[in-house]
């Protein structure tokens, strides 16, 4: 879009201020202004076991060994597995894949499955997005003579499981340089492994008579897995996503292209689309359908097959929404007596374990506190739980500690998300233990929460040009928040509820202009109710994220509302 006279300087100043406010040093502004791989990629060899993993995979490729990629059933697992499978194809080698069933097998590699893969001919198994804490399963694989490489990003125990190599920036024995990349999703770690494998094969002369693959073509997978796994978008992750969106726009991956079409996107995807449109469809296969659908879609070269799988995933996503709504309603009914709790823990018999992570996230957003949702099996009484945390509270570490204290059958994760398995009769004990451990951190984190603003403008100042300027400091996400804009003073022309608990607002300015805003899942909040029932005749300030509404004939700016305050 052509900017008006003088806007170029304003645009540069806005981007500079946004970068500085997100912790970028002034001398490092140019590197962050347009994040590229060259500016942020570390040497893969800085990670423990990376060279060992690359050497073993190179050996398998040179010898034509049968390899299996063992993935997780979520988006990070699917994209990680697809990335390695596509890499091996580029190198002239096919690889098998194995994705466990969420309901029948649960999270992580099972010893039985690994041994069976060995019996079926796989001499090397590479686990992605799982395996960091699978001591028993990996011991079984070792005893059966199956080589296993673990590529993961979840928290690691002090005693690592037996493997050929365990590549994970969150190993406790990592160097400071490697540990600085602990925010990577598993797919990001897998991409670094791909670089190391190609480098190893180059040294061995593998590309003397064949072309070397362009790994940049895999960045669409890295971007999707990173955003959908809610990994922090700073440093290398921001470069991964910025460059991956460019690759995605080219639609060279048949499955990714079909996924974009199934999501009804009429333009090139932006960062938010990865988390709210593409990612949920991939996740739906593992949550309520067939766990292999995501990997199949992202690795197929057949356009008709891709369209069929993408349509199936969209249908499953709709089914997931209905199941989620039922569990959400039941979970919120339990919250009434938990207002004074530091950690919200709800559990129910027969709840679908495929949606508990989403519901935990919804509760966390609504209450501003860490939340855990547990689905209890009606026959065994065992509970499968998923938790989501808030900034400043390391839920993954707490879950690991609870497991080490004998409160959980299994558990692990990272700071913002965790999973667990628990005996149903220990729920109350576990909840009290969590309360004692996390009450202090939660209290401090909640006290530090504030609606921080990047800029304030009058209603007429919220324009498409401004939104486009703000977007230049993206992509935005967890760890690199989108700019929050205050707009006002305005008066309410119309306020109503649309969809599921969404507050829609049309506000007017003194000069006669109007502004459209929407607050998702906010109609029943205290400030949402105040706007709906008490804003007539009063002026107020609105705060939220400025977006482009391109639904009509002319793009317009709108506000995705997050808070409001009276102006008089």
**Is residue 412 within 8 Å of residue 403, measured between CB atoms?**
yes
Give the CB-side neighbour count of residue 175, counting CA atoms within 13 A: 11
**What residue ranges of the chain have pLDDT lower than 50?**
1-8
Angle at 122 between CA 116 and CA 128, to 5 degrees: 85
Using CA atoms, how far residue 6 sits from 2, 9, 383, 466, in Å, is 11, 6, 60, 13
- Give the pLDDT score at 238: 97
C-alpha to C-alpha distance for 189 and 524, rounded to whole angstroms? 41
Task: Report the distance separating Cα 327 and Cα 330, nearest Å.
Answer: 5
DSSP secondary structure string for all residues of 301-338: --HHHHHHHHHHHHHHHHHHHHHHHHHHHHHHHHGGG-
Q: Are 241 and 233 in contact (CB under 8 A)?
A: yes
**Domain check: are 55 and 201 in the same one?**
yes
- Are 256 and 140 in a shared domain? yes
* Closest-CA residue to 523 (of 500, 491, 554): 500
Among residues 374, 328, 259, which one has the least CA distance to residue 501? 328
- CA 113 to chain CA centroid, nearest Å: 27
CA-closest candidate to residue 514, choices 546, 481, 491: 491
Alpha-carbon gap, residue 209 to 109, rounded angstroms: 37
In a domain, 82, yes or no: yes
Residue 411 is part of which domain span? 338-448
Both tokens of residue 121? 């001919």
CATH number for the domain spanning 381: value is 3.10.310.30
Does 513 lie in the same domain as 443?
no
Pair 130, 219 in one domain = yes
Instruction: Quote the tokens at residue 153.
Output: 């990003």
Q: What is the pLDDT of residue 10?
A: 55
Give the closest residue to 168 by CA, choosing from 46, 307, 341.
Answer: 46
- Give how many domains the chain has, as a whole number: 3
CA distance 499 to 521: 9
Dihedrals phi, psi of 311, to nearest 5 degrees: -65, -40
253 vs 266: CA distance, rounded Å: 17
Exposed/middle/buried for residue 23 (C-beta within 10 Å: 0-12, 13-18, 19+)? exposed
CB distance 539 to 488 below 8 Å: yes
Half-sphere exposure at residue 158, Cβ-oriented, CA atoms within 13 angstroms = 2
Does a structural domain hold residue 271?
yes
**Percentages (nearest 5) of helix, strand, coil residues in the chain:** 45, 20, 35
Domain annotation covers residue 144: yes
Contact by Cβ (8 Å): 215, 88: no
Contact partners, residue 431, CB within 8 Å, separation at least 6 = 343, 345
Are the C-beta atoms of residues 527 and 517 closer than 8 Å to each other? no
Last residue of a domain, one of 448, 476, 497: 448
Residue 12, domain member (yes or no): no
Which of 448, 472, 505 delimits the end of a domain? 448
CATH code where residue 497 lies: 2.40.50.140
Residues 443, 479: one domain? no
* 101/222 same-domain check: yes
pLDDT at 512: 82
State how far the Cα of 172 lies from the Cα of 46, in Å rounded to an integer.
14
Residues 522 and 444 in one domain: no
Is the residue at 37 inside a domain?
no
- Is 357 contained in some domain? yes
> How much is the pLDDT for 557?
92
* DSSP assignment letter at 159: S
Q: Which pair of tokens denotes residue 128?
A: 């992605």
Token pair, residue 41, equals: 């990629």
Q: Taking the CB of residue 432, how many other CB atoms lie within 10 A of it?
A: 12
Which of 407, 433, 448 is the last residue in one of the domains?
A: 448
CA-based nearest residue to 79, from 91, 66, 97, 103: 97
Please tell me the predicted confidence (pLDDT) of residue 9: 56
Q: Are residues 432 and 465 in the same domain?
A: no
The predicted pLDDT at position 262 comes to 97
What is the rounded CA–CA span in Å between residue 308 and residue 300?
11
Same domain, 125 and 274: yes
Asked if residue 18 is part of any domain, the answer here is no
How much is the pLDDT for 103? 73
Same domain, 395 and 492: no
**Residue 193, both tokens:** 């492994």
* 26 occurs within a structural domain: no
Q: Which residue has 């006279």 as its token pair?
A: 5
Judge if 396 and 472 occupy the same domain: no
CATH number at residue 223: 3.90.1640.30
User: Which of 62-93 are b and which e, b meaning 16 or more Cβ less than 10 Å from the residue's Cβ?
Assistant: eeebbbbbbbbbbbbbbbbbbbbbbbbebbeb
Do 391 and 537 lie in one domain? The reply is: no
Chain centroid, CA 61 distance in Å: 31
């Amino acid at each position: 879009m052509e900017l008006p006279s003088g806007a170029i300087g304003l645009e540069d100043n806005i981007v500079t201020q946004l970068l500085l406010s997100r912790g970028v040093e002034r001398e490092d502004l140019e590197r962050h202004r347009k994040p590229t791989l060259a500016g942020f990629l570390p040497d893969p060899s800085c990670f423990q076991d990376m060279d060992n993993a690359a050497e073993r995979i190179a050996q398998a490729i040179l010898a034509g060994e049968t390899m299996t990629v063992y993935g997780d059933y979520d988006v990070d697992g699917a994209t990680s597995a697809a990335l390695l499978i596509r890499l091996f194809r580029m190198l002239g080698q096919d690889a098998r894949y194995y994705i466990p069933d969420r309901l029948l097998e649960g999270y992580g590699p099972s010893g039985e499955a690994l041994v069976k893969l060995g019996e079926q001919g796989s001499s090397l198994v590479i686990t992605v997005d799982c395996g960091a804490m699978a001591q028993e399963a990996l011991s079984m694989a070792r005893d059966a003579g199956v080589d296993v490489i673990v590529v993961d990003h979840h928290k690691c125990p002090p005693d690592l499981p037996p493997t050929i190599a365990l590549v994970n920036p969150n190993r406790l024995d990592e160097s400071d340089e490697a540990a600085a990349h602990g925010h990577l999703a598993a797919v990001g770690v897998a991409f670094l492994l791909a670089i190391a494998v190609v480098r190893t094969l180059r040294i061995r002369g593998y590309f003397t008579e064949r072309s070397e693959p362009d790994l940049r073509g895999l960045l669409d997978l890295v971007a999707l897995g990173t955003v959908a796994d809610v990994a922090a978008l700073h440093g290398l992750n921001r470069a991964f996503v910025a460059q991956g969106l460019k690759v995605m726009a080219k639609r060279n991956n048949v499955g990714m292209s079909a996924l974009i079409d199934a999501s009804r996107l009429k333009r090139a995807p932006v960062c938010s689309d990865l988390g709210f449109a593409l990612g949920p469809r991939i996740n739906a296969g593992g949550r309520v359908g067939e766990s292999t659908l995501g990997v199949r879609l992202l690795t197929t070269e057949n356009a008709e097959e891709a369209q069929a799988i993408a349509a199936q995933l969209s249908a499953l996503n709709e089914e997931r929404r209905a199941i989620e709504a039922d569990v959400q309603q039941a979970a919120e009914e339990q919250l009434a007596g938990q207002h004074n709790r530091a950690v919200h823990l709800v559990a129910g018999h027969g709840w679908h374990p495929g949606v508990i992570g989403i519901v935990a996230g919804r509760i966390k957003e609504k209450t501003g506190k860490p939340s855990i949702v547990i689905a209890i099996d009606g026959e065994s009484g065992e509970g499968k739980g998923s938790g989501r945390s808030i900034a400043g509270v390391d839920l993954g570490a707490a879950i690991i500690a609870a497991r080490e204290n004998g409160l959980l059958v299994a558990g692990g994760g990272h700071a913002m998300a965790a999973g667990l398995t628990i005996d149903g009769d220990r729920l109350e004990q576990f909840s009290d233990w969590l309360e004692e451990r996390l009450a202090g951190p939660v209290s401090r984190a909640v006290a530090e929460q504030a609606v921080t603003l990047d800029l304030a403008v009058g209603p007429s100042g919220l324009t498409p040009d401004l939104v486009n300027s703000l977007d230049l400091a993206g992509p935005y996400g967890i760890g690199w928040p989108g700019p929050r804009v205050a707009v006002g003073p305005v008066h309410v022309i119309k306020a109503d509820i649309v969809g599921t608990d969404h507050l829609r607002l049309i506000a007017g300015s003194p000069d006669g202009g109007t502004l459209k805003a929407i607050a998702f899942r906010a109609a029943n909040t205290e400030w949402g109710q105040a706007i709906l029932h008490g804003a007539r005749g009063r002026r107020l300030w609105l705060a939220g994220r400025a977006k482009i509404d391109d639904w009509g004939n002319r793009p317009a700016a709108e506000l995705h509302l997050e808070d409001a305050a009276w102006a008089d």
